[in-house]
Amino acid sequence: MRTKPLTDKSGEVRELTRKDMKRFRPAAEVLPQELLAGLPKRKPGQRGGQKMPTKEPVTIRYSRDVLEYFRSTGPGWQARIDAALKEWVAQHGQNSEGIKHKRTGF
């Protein structure tokens, strides 16, 4: 039994069916080696690296009551701590010497 072409005469791709998807093969089987060599090596579902890191990992100790409060607010509690610290920086604007931070301008 012959399958329907994926594209029509104008080049429009038709909606794929489950049957179409069952016939798919891994990229390693169908793409040229030169192209595969330039692709990132990741496991299925694994995210790529950040284009430009926006956060820096640090180790910091907080008071137990502060942590209990933020954790009790549910998922995203670390982001809420970050937002609270950003708000504090915005309100205070300068460091103890009265100098704005070089990188952030705070």
User: pLDDT, tens digit, for every residue of 12-65?
Assistant: 999 999 998 999 999 889 999 999 888 878 887 888 777 777 788 899 999 999
Q: Tell me which DSSP letter residue 3 carries.
A: P
Q: What is this structure's pTM?
A: 0.44
Provide the β-strand partners of residue 7: 13
Residue 93 burial (CB count, 10 A):
11
- Cα–Cα distance measured from residue 28 to residue 25, given in angstroms and rounded to the nearest whole number: 8
Burial degree of 77 (CB within 10 A; 0-12, 13-18, 19+): middle
- Cα–Cα distance measured from residue 68 to residue 74, given in angstroms and rounded to the nearest whole number: 10
